[in-house]
Structure 1
Amino acid sequence: MARSKKGRAVSGWVVIDKPAGITSTAVVNKVKWAFGAQKAGHAGTLDPAATGVLAVALGEATKTVPYITDALKCYRFMVRLGAATTTDDAEGAVIETRAERPSDAQIVDALPAFRGEIMQVPPQFSAVKVDGERAYDLARDGVEMELAARALWVESLEVIARPDADHVELEMVCGKGGYVRSIARDLGQALGCLGHVQWLRRVWSGPFDAAKGASLDDIDRLARSPEIDALLQPLELGLADLPRCEATAEGAARLRNGNPGMVIVNGLAYGDEAWASHQGRPVAVGIYRGGELHPTRVFNL
């Protein structure tokens, strides 16, 4: 006999405005417990010291996590000029300082090199795997590594403020896999003064905005109560970047069983990825081929 799953079959997104000092995993576990959910995940880790949008997926919404992970994200961060650290942020030990400070114009002139398709080397303290081990575990043991550069799309990178000679506040919109700490490190090197992240906030991620996020105090206050479901946002928000089509009644039944199903489309081309709904409920994500959607993910709602 199959073992029944513990918890509620609740599905949707919960947007948390994460405070500093807690891991993303701890936030996910708290949200999962508070909702009594069977399953939970998140779209994009934030370092413990970072704040801002952490989108937590519950239940069937976990199947849409890759689409939020791939979406553009906006970060606001302060770079401390004049010092490099072991972790490329304020949590690490200072390993080198320099007295030089760039002018406002020099900072602005340096930014174009960090826009568009760039190659970025992750920080030594990162979750990148090296021979099966996490880079941060090796770094804690004093191992120095040559991490491979990775491609990153930077949509925009702009100066927001220059409070004083030692600091510059920046805003960056980028794609999947970006390390803000690497941007601060590399910008400091390009300017000849060194640099690291002093603080970091993820302002938005795909369709989710920090300004509309719940606090952990909200989660604690509403935990295990019927009122907590008011914080739940629709599963389909995770599919905002995909076109939607409507499944016929027969098509929806076939799609739910993992088979190609007939859909009514407007503007889809052969081979496009899309998601189908029926009677207002998401049914599946798949590839459109000749009047049918061939499912790659099926929602059991």
Structure 2
Amino acid sequence: MIHDDTAIDSPDEAAPASIGSDDATGTPGPAGGRRQPRGGPRPDRPKRRDVNGWVILDKGVGMTSTHAVAVVKRAFNAKKAGHAGTLDPLASGILPIALGEATKTVPFVMDGRKAYVFTVTWGIETDTDDAEGRPVMTSDARPEREAVEAALPRFIGAIEQVPPRYSAIKIAGERAYDLARDGEVVELVARPVQIDHLAVVEHDGQRTVIEAQCGKGTYVRALARDLGRVLGCYGHVSALRRTRVGPFTEAESCLAATLEEAGPDGNGPHLHPVETALDGLPSVAVSRDMALRLMRGQPVILRGRDAPVEGKAFATCGGILVSVGDVERGELVPHRVFHLGGTAPQRG
């Protein structure tokens, strides 16, 4: 299931261990205290750290996005984490995970272009539009490669797409997949999406591998469903891999096992600067006084030939990200300010 929700954990400083207490029984211990738990005192839980940056996880099949965030958060012993764009357990590939101050830049990543390689198995349409659902329509017909390639152009560009019934879209305050699981009839309206590229990679008669580049809100499962209907043979996604999200690609990715093995002190090479998410936005270097104004939420006047004229931009001071905002009439109006330090990597 491909959607663009963002899950951000709130900071969870570890509570200090309670000396001489037994959470299970609460029975009195020596000297008016509490009995120790069996097996001796509980070890102190490591204190969460301020970690700021992006981790580009190559999520494996079977792992939920929520679990992936928890794994990365634990591997870095970080206080705060969130992901940019959900990947279903069925899917693998790029899941950018923001730590600390990087969570403030999640919307910029989610608004970026995405790339996928997915497999459509022909002859069966399912209620979830993927291999996890139950068949609802079947056909003995199988498309030729030429027919698939001829049908792809009608799905390229700005199109209207009806999301899958099993999606995270809200209907009267409830998720569509919750309503569908309860047996309710879910009617979703078509939404505009942008698909920039579709191409057949492999075809063997029973299934076709397709690569896609698209914008925010595009459902690959719905694309496979609609393609099968156009070809008159039905179809569903049987494999899906995301290869790019915004500026992040497979080249920068790492596996969960690698992070877990390295631990908090060895994962520095896998942490990318917070401003990596702002790739493509103009930047401006500001003085310390200007940085302090921005940190207070106050606009600053930009001077110089190279200053951005209009639109989104971010400011740095001494190479450290300070804020991101809009340039309006020669002023940078901050919308997000950053408090970076500690483990935040810097460019260069």
| TM-score for the superposition, normalised by structure 2 | 0.82
SS in 1 for 2:266: helix
User: Partners of 2:248 and 2:331 in 1: how far apart?
Assistant: 31
In terms of Rg, which structure is larger? 2
Which stretch of structure 1 is more off in the superposition, 185-194 or 244-253? 244-253
User: Partners of 2:97 and 2:303 in 1: how far apart?
Assistant: 31
Identify which of 139, 142, 145 aligns with 1:104. 145
User: Partners of 1:280 and 1:180 in 2: how far apart?
Assistant: 39
Identify which of 210, 213, 220 aligns with 1:170. 210
Which stretch of structure 1 is more off in the superposition, 136-145 or 38-47? 136-145
SS in 2 for 1:227: coil
User: Partners of 1:184 and 1:267 in 2: how far apart?
Assistant: 45
User: Partners of 2:63 and 2:185 in 1: how far apart?
Assistant: 27
1:208 maps to which residue?
248
Deviation at 1:248, TM superposition (A): 2.2
**Alpha carbons 2:114, 2:244 under 8 Å: kept:** yes
- The amino acid across from 2:332 in the alignment is L
1:120 maps to which residue?
161
Deviation track 1:247-288 (CA, whole Å, cap 9, x = no partner) reads: 122211111121112445626223x11111111111100111
Deviation at 1:58, TM superposition (A): 0.4
SS in 1 for 2:58: strand
1:63 maps to which residue?
104
SS in 2 for 1:38: coil
- The amino acid across from 1:200 in the alignment is L
2:312 maps to which residue?
273
1:228-239 equivalence runs, <5 A: 228-239=267-278
SS in 1 for 2:164: coil
Deviation at 1:49, TM superposition (A): 0.8
1:10-49 equivalence runs, <5 A: 10-49=51-90
User: Partners of 2:252 and 2:286 in 1: how far apart?
Assistant: 32
User: Partners of 1:121 and 1:289 in 2: how far apart?
Assistant: 37
Which stretch of structure 1 is more off in the superposition, 17-26 or 132-141? 132-141
**Alpha carbons 1:67, 1:239 under 8 Å: kept:** yes
- Compare the two structures and name the one with the higher strand fraction: 1
Number of paired residues? 295
CA RMSD after TM alignment: 1.4
- The amino acid across from 2:241 in the alignment is R
Unaligned 5+ residue runs, structure 1?
A: none
Aligned-residue sequence identity (percent) comes to 47
- The amino acid across from 1:213 in the alignment is S
Deviation at 1:290, TM superposition (A): 3.8
User: Partners of 2:288 and 2:252 in 1: how far apart?
Assistant: 36
User: Partners of 2:335 and 2:246 in 1: how far apart?
Assistant: 21
Unaligned 5+ residue runs, structure 2?
A: 1-10, 14-47, 341-348
1:221 maps to which residue?
261
Deviation at 1:236, TM superposition (A): 0.7
SS in 1 for 2:143: coil
**Alpha carbons 1:15, 1:53 under 8 Å: kept:** yes
- The amino acid across from 2:141 in the alignment is E
In structure 2, relative to structure 1, the CA distance for the partners of 1:189 and 1:5 (3 Å cut) is closer
Deviation track 1:200-219 (CA, whole Å, cap 9, x = no partner) reads: 00011111112431111112
User: Partners of 1:217 and 1:66 in 2: how far apart?
Assistant: 27
User: Partners of 2:301 and 2:266 in 1: how far apart?
Assistant: 38
- The amino acid across from 1:65 in the alignment is V
Identify which of 333, 336, 347 aligns with 1:294. 333
Deviation at 1:291, TM superposition (A): 3.6
**Alpha carbons 1:248, 1:263 under 8 Å: kept:** no
Which stretch of structure 1 is more off in the superposition, 59-68 or 249-258? 249-258
**Alpha carbons 1:86, 1:93 under 8 Å: kept:** yes
Deviation at 1:96, TM superposition (A): 1.9
User: Partners of 1:21 and 1:113 in 2: how far apart?
Assistant: 32
User: Partners of 1:223 and 1:189 in 2: how far apart?
Assistant: 48
Deviation at 1:186, TM superposition (A): 0.3
Identify which of 177, 184, 207 aligns with 1:136. 177
User: Partners of 1:167 and 1:31 in 2: how far apart?
Assistant: 34
1:248 maps to which residue?
287
Deviation at 1:157, TM superposition (A): 0.9
**Alpha carbons 2:309, 2:330 under 8 Å: kept:** no
Stretches (4+) displaced over 6 A: none
SS in 2 for 1:139: helix
Identify which of 76, 91, 95 aligns with 2:117. 76
Deviation track 1:107-159 (CA, whole Å, cap 9, x = no partner) reads: 11111110100111111111111111111111111112110111111011111
**Alpha carbons 1:273, 1:286 under 8 Å: kept:** yes
**Alpha carbons 1:250, 1:262 under 8 Å: kept:** no
| TM-score for the superposition, normalised by structure 1 | 0.94
Which stretch of structure 1 is more off in the superposition, 243-252 or 170-179? 243-252
